[in-house]
Amino acid sequence: MRTTKWQLTRFAFIYLNSQASIFLVPTLISSPTYQSWMAVMGGTLLSIGMMFCAVYVGRLKPGQAWVDFGSSIVGKWVHKVVIVLLLCWCIYYVSLDLENFVLFFGSNYLRGTPPWFIQLLIGLVIMYTAKLRFSSLIYMTDGLFLLIISASLFTVFLFVQEVDLNMLPALLHYHDPFVAAKDSWIVTSWVSEWIVFLFLVPELKLDKHVYKKLTMASLLVMVSILTGWLLTLLSLGAYLGPQIQYPFLEMIRSSTHDNIIGNIDPLLIGIWSSSLFIHSAFLIYVAVRCLSSLTNNKGKKYMVQTLTLIALVIAFLYSQNVAVYDRDYNSAVAIWIWFGVDCLPVFYFIVALIRFRKRPLE
């Protein structure tokens, strides 16, 4: 496909920012100290390190996808196990996206609407988006990137005059290394999903400049998270913010503007929703690539529909017992699973260094 210089940067920003910008901020706000800015920076630094490992692995065989040549690094059966785990993770992740969307919209805009109906509509959108050519996802992110950057700048301009700047000294005076390290680990699990970018090949090339492009995307995501967290903290405070499920949305709603500016939350949420669709559709695309590799492309025609349906079933079961969903979604086990998936490129990187330090990859 035809690509432009910074297309990969825009796609990476949209993918990583779609979840972190809305669902990570409440976790950071609930931190008992004012040092979440340190956690975001520390998590981003770890994420960039994992990205370098992922790109190194992806460039071992230029023009060939990691899913096809990974067995030559760690062995056939180990690679198959990783592919199976990644397949299950992608489907489960999409189910979480669906349930998050239901809870978010069901509690704010679609009250009284049956959860299964919202899930079905969103599932059909994700299925249709995933059925498109991968190039269509890339081109969609080009336009969406400009919208999100513009909306973010407008939001900062809108609320910067309403924040309490007297809270700023607390950002420098309260430090707890243990909390900072724990929060950095949590942030890393949110913004380090570089393993899925190995599936961009051969549609996109991982050239020698890809490190700079993906580092730029990581820094943009970091700025986006820090901006949302800081505006929420300085607007709602360290005590009210953690008590609100979606503090950033409530901050927009509580704007003192009575004109159209004070009612822009549907527009901002609509823009964010588009990025969530791309996030879920790309995960289905990755899952299809994994399943195709395991089945030698047998039944590929119906894989998107089947995998999306499985994610819908899991999301439906969660909607029947939200307490179980909250327990699983916020558990330390989930964070460890996400962190483990994020570390897969590091595993392949270490094995490749050991095995192919003195001879090229064949």
Look at residue 2 and tell me if it is in a domain: no
pLDDT one-digit tens code per residue, 169-204: 777 777 777 877 888 888 898 899 999 999 888 777
- CATH number of the domain that residue 145 is part of: 1.20.1740.10
Q: Is the confidence at residue 245, as pLDDT, over 80? A: no
Look at residue 262 and tell me if it is in a domain: yes
Tokens at 328, concatenated? 């699983």
Burial of 273 (0-12, 13-18, 19+ CB in 10 A): middle
pLDDT band at 222 (very low <50, low <70, confident <90, very high): very high
Look at residue 24 and tell me if it is in a domain: yes
- Alpha helices by DSSP H, listed for the chain, are 7-19, 25-29, 36-58, 66-69, 71-74, 76-108, 115-131, 134-159, 170-173, 177-191, 210-240, 247-253, 265-295, 303-319, 322-329, 332-342, 344-355
Look at residue 121 and tell me if it is in a domain: yes
Q: In this predicted model, which residue has the larger pLDDT, 357 or 285? A: 285
Look at residue 276 and tell me if it is in a domain: yes
Tokens at 87, concatenated? 């397949």
Residue 261: predicted pLDDT: 53
Q: Could you tell me which of 256, 189, 252, 231 has the C-alpha nearest to residue 47?
A: 189
Place of tokens 């995960």: 283
Residue 310: predicted pLDDT: 94
Look at residue 1 and tell me if it is in a domain: no
Give the count of domains, the chain.
Answer: 1
Q: pTM for this structure?
A: 0.89
C-alpha triplet 120, 103, 143: angle, nearest 5°: 70
Q: In this predicted model, which residue has the larger pLDDT, 55 or 113? A: 55
Look at residue 284 and tell me if it is in a domain: yes
Residue 87: predicted pLDDT: 95
Q: Is the confidence at residue 350, as pLDDT, over 90? A: yes
Domain of residue 350 covers 7-355
